[in-house]
Amino acid sequence: MKIAVIGMGYVGLTTAASMAHIGHEIFGVEIDEAKLNLLKEGKSPIYEEYLDGMLSHGIEAGRLHFTSDLAEALDETEVAFIAVGTPLMGQWGADLRQIRAAVGDIAHFLKENPDKHLIVIMKSTVPSRTCDTMADHIREIAPDAKFDLVSNPEFLREGSGVFDTLYPDRIVIGSRSTEASNKVKGLYQAIIDGKIPDTHLCPKPPEKHPYPIPVVQTDPRSSELIKYAANAFLATKISFINEIANLAEKTGANIEDIAYGIGLDQRIGPQFLRAGIGYGGSCFPKDTAALTHQAESFGYTFKLLNAVIEVNQRQRIRFLHKIVERLDHFDGRRIGFLGLSFKPGTDDVRDSPGIEMMRYAEGAGAEVRAYDPVAIENARKIFDCLDKEIYFEDPLKMAEGCDCLAIVTDWPEFRDLDWLKIKKLMKHPIIFDGRNMFDPSEMKGKGFEYYCVGRGEDACYNSE
């Protein structure tokens, strides 16, 4: 089927590349000229495994086109995904201006093309009721427009976006029209049946995956809320384990064993129980805040989620306190941050806990420096020092003369660094591991003073 995808950010681009991969013909719409030029050359403007290869293959096969002209794309297609950003607008919750603009453009197109029927699919994360409001907006502009507005949220994680799109746990479709809902379901048939072609170009299928993939067909308001509820629940798991970790530090218990011990209970499950400095990124902080704001706007205080957000923020502060307690003060201390992206496998630095801490430490007088395998360029755009270089291409150079190192992103390659050499280069061999990457006894054995999260002094560290 011919499909337009409006907005070539993480979600839009991954959707476009994956849909082209399973055989659809895609018209990607992007107004940013620099991004558009890169895309036309088959290069991804974001760091995401497999995207470059899938883009150039899709272009060569004639299944991927990119344009800045929405009307040109809609002319060709029967279905349009909206995948523009919904950033947080302070206390007002999700900022829907990009959504409204895209919907408005679609409405004007439909007004000028009264015979056209379009299925508009909301991929962007939006508060419950947005599809209803946006359908009204289309009718205001084009009262006779023929369209269905269907909610179909995305659950992809950055860094494994293509994998999550091609091998999802479920597909959620929200529509009041059974026909439109089934048409949207049909777009995913290859994914639902596990018939992904050319697996040498994309991630391999997981060994065990339930086919057919479950499809939840519901109304738009529930579909929209499923997305927020899923992110809020995962964020709750993280804040919960961080609270237990803080308690474990006090009682002398080991959070790794605790997470393992509770995660074996199938009702709880092992995922999202890694304690550390809390969650960041472009989704959890934004979506949890947007959900509490929406609840508040309906006169309901979402107490649990408010606490989840507060615990997450406090986790970063606790980590900084640990550092300052040990170093006495930040003023004049040289602190090296390992990691800048909000998690490994991505160059995304939006709401990165590490960058926030670095900014604070610098404000308190520390001489901060940082290394990240892929995120330096993006970090520089949001945090830089005018008078000195703080970003290093070489982690060993960065460690030179440091009073301590703070591990804030768990890039697997940090495990393979030459830690004995790093120890010699540092002024004081002190490590604050905000992601519990290392076995404390191993780091102590190497001669480091090692601090982590939720692993009390007396706990033993031999869990398998």
Q: Does 220 bind ligand UDX (CB under 6 A)?
A: no
Strand, helix or coil at 432?
strand
Q: Does 272 bind ligand UDX (CB under 6 A)?
A: yes
Stretch that binds ligand UDX, among 38-46, 188-196, 266-274, 385-393 (CB under 6 A): 266-274
The one catalytic residue in 283, 402, 404, 452 is 283
* Count of residues in the chain: 464
Least Å from the CB of residue 274 to ligand UDX? 3
The token pair that represents 406 in the structure block? 């703070």
Least Å from the CB of residue 259 to ligand UDX? 8
Q: In what order do the strands lie in the sheet with 2-6?
A: 64-67, 25-29, 2-6, 79-82, 117-122, 146-151, 171-174, 215-218
Binding mask 294-333 for ligand UDX (x = CB under 6 A): ----------------------------------------
- CA 161 to CA 345: how far, in whole Å? 10
Interface positions, 231-260, toward ligand UDX (CB under 6 A): 231, 234, 238
Q: Does 280 bind ligand UDX (CB under 6 A)?
A: yes
CB 423 within 8 A of CB 429: yes
When the beta carbons of 135 and 305 are compared against ligand UDX, the nearer one is 305
Q: Does 450 bind ligand UDX (CB under 6 A)?
A: no
Q: Which helix (H) or strand (E) holds 310?
A: helix 303-327
Strand, helix or coil at 274?
coil
Q: Does 167 bind ligand UDX (CB under 6 A)?
A: no
- CA 404 to CA 418: how far, in whole Å? 16
- CA 443 to CA 414: how far, in whole Å? 13
Least Å from the CB of residue 437 to ligand UDX? 12
Q: Does 341 bind ligand UDX (CB under 6 A)?
A: no
CB 127 within 8 A of CB 95: no
CB 169 within 8 A of CB 58: no
When the beta carbons of 162 and 234 are compared against ligand UDX, the nearer one is 234
Q: Does 158 bind ligand UDX (CB under 6 A)?
A: yes
Q: Does 12 bind ligand UDX (CB under 6 A)?
A: no
Least Å from the CB of residue 210 to ligand UDX? 18
When the beta carbons of 158 and 256 are compared against ligand UDX, the nearer one is 158
Least Å from the CB of residue 11 to ligand UDX? 8
DSSP symbol at 157: P
The token pair that represents 66 in the structure block? 């990119």
Nearest to 61 by CA among 102, 95, 17: 17
CB 166 within 8 A of CB 21: yes
Stretch that binds ligand UDX, among 138-146, 154-162, 300-308, 437-445 (CB under 6 A): 154-162
Q: Does 276 bind ligand UDX (CB under 6 A)?
A: yes
Nearest to 226 by CA among 310, 149, 151: 151
E strands, 126-170, in order? 146-151
Least Å from the CB of residue 161 to ligand UDX? 8
CB 349 within 8 A of CB 340: yes
| Lookup result for tokens 């919904």 | 86
Stretch that binds ligand UDX, among 21-29, 209-217, 270-278, 419-427 (CB under 6 A): 270-278
Q: Does 343 bind ligand UDX (CB under 6 A)?
A: yes
Q: CA 258 from chain center: how many Å? A: 26
Q: Which helix (H) or strand (E) holds 301?
A: none
Interface positions, 29-68, toward ligand UDX (CB under 6 A): none
The token pair that represents 311 in the structure block? 């615990």
Q: Environment class of residue 428 by beta-carbon count within 10 Å: exposed (0-12), middle (13-18) or buried (19+)?
A: middle
Least Å from the CB of residue 125 to ligand UDX? 8
Nearest to 106 by CA among 90, 124, 121: 121
Q: Does 380 bind ligand UDX (CB under 6 A)?
A: no
283 has catalytic annotation: yes
Rule CB under 6 A: choose which of 27, 109, 228, 279 binds ligand UDX: 279
When the beta carbons of 85 and 278 are compared against ligand UDX, the nearer one is 278
The token pair that represents 393 in the structure block? 């291409």
Nearest to 273 by CA among 264, 282, 281: 264
Q: Does 157 bind ligand UDX (CB under 6 A)?
A: yes
Rule CB under 6 A: choose which of 3, 283, 289, 390 binds ligand UDX: 283
Stretch that binds ligand UDX, among 37-45, 200-208, 268-276, 330-338 (CB under 6 A): 268-276
Q: Phi then psi for 29, rounded to 5 degrees?
A: -110, 125
Stretch that binds ligand UDX, among 76-84, 148-156, 332-340, 455-463 (CB under 6 A): 148-156
Stretch that binds ligand UDX, among 13-21, 272-280, 323-331, 426-434 (CB under 6 A): 272-280
When the beta carbons of 57 and 350 are compared against ligand UDX, the nearer one is 350
Residues of this chain that bind ligand UDX (CB under 6 A): 154-158, 231, 234, 238, 272-274, 276, 278-281, 283-284, 342-343
Q: List, by residue number, the catalytic residues.
A: 283
